[in-house]
Amino acid sequence: MRAVEENMQWNDEQKLRNLIGRRVRYMGKAYEVTDLLLEDDLLILSADEGMDVQEDSYGRPHRMVPHQQNLRFRDADQQATHIWDDLIFLDGPMEP
């Protein structure tokens, strides 16, 4: 998906936010982009299947939540990371 890297403007906050809600395949599993942490350069994916135990602020098991992947989409030099090669957008290609 190098075309994605060439077309995406990594510093365009609105274009990145438009990814939220998109369906993707990552590492052979279906996910939904559920959050974007711009200050940490993280794209948060939530799985369709599989659950993890979420701990409360005291470290005690609290509730079941969908399995998540936290993926760094930009490196320290503000360049695209390899995740764009591994993501497949299930609802059509990304728009530049």
Residue 6: pLDDT above 70? no
Between CA 4 and CA 6 the distance in angstroms is 5
Is residue 95 domain-resident? no
**Is 58 inside a domain boundary?**
yes
Choose between 93 and 20: higher pLDDT: 20
Dist CA 65 CA 62 (whole Å)? 10
| Comparison of pLDDT for 6 and 69, the residue scoring more | 69
> Of how many residues is the chain composed?
96
Would the pLDDT of 2 be above 90?
no
* Residue range 53-91, pLDDT digits in tens: 888 889 888 888 888 899 999 888 888 888 888 888 888
* Per-residue pLDDT band at 31 (split at 50, 70, 90): very high
d(CA 20, CA 42): 12
Within 10 A of 90 (CB to CB), how many other CB atoms are there? 12
Query: Is 80 inside a domain boundary?
Result: yes
Counting the structural domains of the chain, the total is 1
Beta carbons of 2 and 81 less than 8 angstroms apart: no
The pLDDT-based confidence of 11 (bands split at 50, 70, 90) is: low
Instruction: Kindly report the backbone phi and psi dihedral angles of residue 83, in degrees, each rounded to the nearest multiple of 5, phi listed first.
Output: -60, -30
Domain ranges, residue 55: 2-89
* pTM: predicted TM-score of the whole model, two decimal places: 0.74
pLDDT at residue 37 in the model: 94
Per-residue model confidence (pLDDT) at position 35:
94
d(CA 35, CA 26): 15
DSSP 39: G
